[in-house]
Amino acid sequence: MCNIVAYDVTARDKSFKYFGVRGVGPGPGCGFLAGAVLQNRRKLAVLLLLLILQGLFVIYSTMKTSPTAQCNGSNCPVPTVTILHPISTRLRDLLLGTTAAPPPRQSSPASQTSATAVWTEEARAKWRTLKPKNWEELASAVFDYIEKPYAKCGKSMRIGGQADYKNRKFDGYKWVCLDPALGLLQTNSCLIYSFGVDHDWSFDDNVQRLQCEIHAFDPSIGQKDHKRSEHISFHNLGIGGRDETIQVRGRRWDVRTYQSVVSMLGHQRRTVHYLKVDVEGAEWDMFTQIFTSSPQLLQNVRQIGMEIHLAYDPRDRNAGLDRWREYLAVFQRLEAMGFRLFHSEMNPYTGAEKLFPTVSRRGSRVYELVWLYQP
């Protein structure tokens, strides 16, 4: 802006008539000193008109480059389409919103389970139809898949996470691929499902900066259905293999299948751009039910970020064998539907151990996995 200092006397005063403009700071019309001795009012009027036009031009330029102000009043009209901020703006907001320190040794979304993990296309094709005959083959088949992610992503980001959450290591984050083919940033109606919160909202609160519609689910935190923010809706529901009500630690949990959740929200034809699953073991029943009753719903999913839990009870080897066959079957079905493993790492508070007394293969009980839909 410019400071305007005007000196004027009437036309009757022939001794001195002066109009001066002194600029302070950058901008159109600033940094100069102009003066003129005006002989009559007509010249003064012309100069004032020019200054007014210049001021209007500066105001117009400022309004043109400034972001549109948000309307918060009760009488504001409700837009039918969300105004989508530029991709660079949403990424900047997302980065600024992530305040927790990252865990050590986390530098890229590559496998952290095996530094030498290599899996050829021929080996993958053989694995997809593999039917292990014993514990040794079954454990190797499961860990071979988990430890060798191979899908490619040009632009990825770790979102969320809390340091020392419940006195544990950095946890709660998820890797997200931002490539255009997956559409997370290229739409004004991106949709995210977040199954499992456990009082850690860091992923949900940060990913909402991408202006996505987010639905979070968790029956274990004692909260009723509510709107957490403009973008986040919370549902007091759990996910599982069937619609039921169960008692857990004296509390009632309502559990629904994935198909029931999608129908409840009316999202049968919507694309789910990111499906986050962190449900402490219920993920297997969830996906087994999907493959049995509604596999077509997964064709609308673009990314799956899931914490998997591998159980083994040496007191019941036969039941354990069936359970691990289920693990392998879920992985094989995901591959058959076009989901490619992009990222794998052991959960921060677990490590590799000898899970089976009679099997030499070592592994973790908990992994963080991410699949990309790349059919």
User: Is 155 a residue whose pLDDT tops 60?
Assistant: yes
pLDDT band, very low/low/confident/very high, at 182 (cuts 50, 70, 90)? very high
Closest among 256, 257, 344, 351 to 305, alpha carbons compared: 344
Q: Comparing 221 with 172, which gets the higher pLDDT?
A: 221
Query: At 177, which amino acid appears?
Result: C
User: What is the model's pLDDT at position 318?
Assistant: 66
DSSP state of 129: T
* Angle at alpha carbon of residue 124, lines to 122 and 130, rounded to 5°: 110
CA dist list (Å): 168 to 111, 163, 187, 199: 22, 8, 36, 14
Cα–Cα dist 345/146, whole Å: 9
> Which pair of tokens denotes residue 313?
């009870």
Q: Look at residue 296 and give its three-state secondary structure.
A: helix
User: What is the model's pLDDT at position 83?
Assistant: 45
Cα–Cα dist 360/374, whole Å: 34
Q: Which of 43-52, 123-132, 212-221, 297-306 has the lowest mean pLDDT?
A: 43-52
User: Is 209 a residue whose pLDDT tops 60?
Assistant: yes
User: Is 115 a residue whose pLDDT tops 50?
Assistant: no
The 10s digit of each residue's pLDDT in 310-368 is: 987 767 766 688 899 999 999 999 999 999 999 999 987 778 888 887 888 889 999 99
Whether pTM exceeds 0.75 = no
User: What is the model's pLDDT at position 36?
Assistant: 39
User: What is the model's pLDDT at position 64?
Assistant: 41
Closest among 176, 152, 184 to 341, alpha carbons compared: 152
Look over the chain and give the mean of its residue pLDDT values, rounded to a whole number.
77
The residue whose two tokens read 């354990």 is 320
Closest among 328, 344, 350, 349 to 108, alpha carbons compared: 344
Q: Which residues contact 193 (CB under 8 A, 6 or more apart)?
A: 214, 215, 217, 261, 272, 274, 275, 276
User: Is 47 a residue whose pLDDT tops 60?
Assistant: yes
β-pair type (33-37, 18-23): antiparallel
Tell me what the mean pLDDT of segment 251-278 comes to: 97
User: Is 35 a residue whose pLDDT tops 70?
Assistant: no
User: What is the model's pLDDT at position 199?
Assistant: 83
DSSP state of 15: S
β-pair type (33-37, 366-373): unpaired
- At 227, give phi and psi (nearest 5°): -100, 105
Element (H, E) at 253: strand 251-256
The 10s digit of each residue's pLDDT in 135-149 is: 889 999 999 999 999
Cα–Cα dist 157/179, whole Å: 11
Q: Look at residue 248 and give its three-state secondary structure.
A: strand
User: Is 249 a residue whose pLDDT tops 50?
Assistant: yes
Closest among 331, 333, 337, 336 to 369, alpha carbons compared: 331
DSSP symbols for 60-126? HHHHHHSPPPPP-STTSPPPSSPPPPPHHHHHHHHHHH--SPPPTT--SSS-SS-TT----HHHHHH
- At 310, give phi and psi (nearest 5°): -105, 120
DSSP state of 168: S
User: What is the model's pLDDT at position 342?
Assistant: 96
The residue whose two tokens read 């900047």 is 92
Q: Which of 35-49, 108-122, 153-167, 343-357 has the highest mean pLDDT?
A: 343-357
pLDDT band, very low/low/confident/very high, at 268 (cuts 50, 70, 90)? very high
Residues forming a β-bridge with 245: 254
Residues forming a β-bridge with 175: 158
Within 10 Å of residue 10's Cβ, how many Cβ atoms? Answer: 8
Q: Which of 24-28, 82-86, 116-120, 354-358 has the highest mean pLDDT?
A: 354-358
User: What is the model's pLDDT at position 305?
Assistant: 97
User: What is the model's pLDDT at position 52?
Assistant: 81
